[in-house]
Amino acid sequence: MRKVFFILMLTATFLCGQVKPGSTDALLLKVTFVGSQKYSQQALVDLSGLKIGTTFNTASLNEAANRLTSTGMFDDLRYRYNGGTVEFQVTENQDVVPCVFDNFVWYGNAELESRIRKLIPVFMGTVPNRGDLSDKVIAALEQIVGEKGVSAKVFAMPDAQLGGKVNSMVFALSSPEMKVGANPVCGCFQR
């Protein structure tokens, strides 16, 4: 009887998806973010790389936490889990600056921001002064411009007064070189 009880308890623990450090994978049923005011739950889940209905363990949770913190969007991030439910507790980074797009002649700012948001759902027209979100925006811009058949190289440069605070992050094309030319119009009168 004790053997049957032990087997039932072991099976129940496995089926409930409880995962403990160093143990086997469990089924991910729900992911929530507490403390986020700017970003949608789904955008954060997508950024984390976690997928509902797949298995997870502490290693995959640590990888998700690293993906989230590497963006620079959070001052603090912690997680806890109970069975198949994972809760991330976050404190958003308030040190963000607006993005400025320079010499993307094919698009207006609003269209660029919309296209970037489709590729990076957490993009809100701003980037933190630290982390790799600017790198993700660069990659998105290169992809967007590439859709026009242009092999472009994009860079980001902080706009700030010497020794002062960063006011914005300027994204621009470094190649191909964008030349603006003049078309002379003769306004001369002949007599």
Which pTM does this prediction carry? 0.75
139-152 pLDDT per residue, tens? 999 999 999 888 88
The amino acid present at 26, given as its one-letter code, is: A
Q: Which of 141, 129, 138, 136 is nearest to 72 (CA)?
A: 129
Ordered by where they begin, the domains of the chain are 2-92 (3.10.20.310), 96-175 (3.10.20.310)
3 token code pair: 């053997």
Residue 124: phi and psi, rounded to 5, are -125, 20
Q: What percent of the chain has a predicted confidence (pLDDT) above 70?
A: 79
Exposure of 127 in the CB half-sphere (CA atoms within 13 A): 28
Distance CA 2, CA 12 (A): 15
4-55 pLDDT per residue, tens? 333 323 233 333 334 444 557 899 999 999 999 999 999 999 999 999 999 9
37 token code pair: 């005011």
